Amino acid sequence: MGSYKFILSGGGTGGHIYPAIAIANELKRRYPDAEFLFVGAKDRMEMEKVPQAGYKIEGLWITGIQRKLTLKNLLFPIKLISSLMRANSIVSKFKPHAVIGTGGFASGPLLKMATTKGIPCVLQEQNSFAGITNKLLKDKVKKICVAYEGMEKFFPKDKIILTGNPVRSDLVELKATKEEALDYFELTTTKKVLLVLGGSLGARRINQLVADHLAYFEGLGLQVIWQCGKGYYETYKAHQSANIKVHAFLNSMDKAYVAADFIISRAGAGAVSELCLVGKPTFFIPSPVVAEDHQTMNALALVKQDAAVMIREKELDEQFKMQFESVFNTSEKQEELSRNIKAMALPNATADICDEIEKLIQ
């Protein structure tokens, strides 16, 4: 039982890395003596984050194809051949019992070589619009774990398992009380709280929106927990006050979610999955510059279920106050959004994905 070996590959962004780490942690809990190896793209954030989580990682010399004519694209065929050769060597040497891909450039060559050797492979697709790497691998892998209904338009129906996305274990059951969370952020219990999330790096347009509307929020009697991102903290820290709490990064996301009454967020797959568990009225402002506009697709999947409000960046000036007040001023709308987004939560995602992996190796 303890001699299993697993390779996990996914990276480029936290949305691919953290699900892979969550899956590895659950497999390690089930098989304490198992061996784990991650494969990522050299010079990407996984080369730092995976070792921090306690796992070994190998890097491939691979990047994606640029969506415009660029000299970097001329190197792509060379990088791809190099990565396929390196991936073949890694798989041959490590001899895994199963390989798990969570998306990103590096998972393509790695899973391609693993499938040619007959090793059972599982894909985990976080978004409602499938990534190009996972679409290319769909016919060779054994199972595809997804987070949204209707993924048959991208993948073979008989391979799809609806599991949801792995999220941090402390968010599956939020243990802090409202009073404890407000005290942690030095906020009062007499006013409602708006939580603003732009991701660890921050979101320029969301930060501009919040900075321009601070007086508006205070006029509504709101307190604000504003996670602006480390690259923007120096710009916005001067707005710190009794009612406005500016943070480069939130180390206690569980307390931030408990403290919040309303949430403004990007619509990355990980954020959406977390916010479904949290179950608070949420305004999604999708990033317009991500691959295949997948954040908009993620947000729309919830909007169609009356589970969230979406405002496109280009519509913020015209739409934001109207959309915000339509929720803020109506308790019935708040309750509807909370109820519907909570109904879309899949809290057992990590365990369900690992169950599928276990079926393949046993």
32-44 pLDDT, tens digit each: 999 999 999 888 8
Residue 2: predicted pLDDT? 52
DSSP codes, 59-121 = EE---PPPSS--THHHHHHHHHHHHHHHHHHHHHHH--SEEEE-SSTTHHHHHHHHHHTT--E
Binding residues: 13-15, 127, 168, 200, 295
Query: pTM for the full model?
Result: 0.86
Angstrom distance (rounded) from CA 280 to CA 192: 12
Q: Summarize the annotated binding site for UDP-N-acetyl-alpha-D-glucosamine as residue ranges.
A: 13-15, 127, 168, 200, 295
pLDDT digits (tens, 9 = 90+) for 162-173: 999 998 777 777
Q: Does the pLDDT value for residue 132 go beyond 70?
A: yes
Least confident of 52-66, 188-202, 292-306: 52-66
- State the pLDDT confidence band at 65, using cuts at 50, 70 and 90: low
Judge whether residue 213 has pLDDT over 60: yes
| pLDDT band with cut points at 50, 70 and 90 for residue 226 | very high
> Which pLDDT does position 169 carry in this prediction?
73
Categorize the per-residue pLDDT at 68 as very low, low, confident or very high, splitting at 50, 70 and 90: low
Q: What is the mean pLDDT of residues 225-242?
A: 95
pLDDT tens for 251-283 read 889 999 999 999 999 999 989 999 999 999 999
Kindly give the residue spans of alpha helices, DSSP state H, lying in the chain.
Answer: 14-30, 46-52, 72-94, 107-116, 132-137, 169-172, 178-184, 204-212, 214-219, 233-236, 253-259, 269-278, 294-303, 316-328, 331-343, 349-361
In this prediction, residues 213-222 reach a mean pLDDT of 97
Per-residue pLDDT of 70-96, as tens digits, reads: 666 667 778 888 888 999 999 999 999
Which pLDDT belongs to residue 175?
A: 83
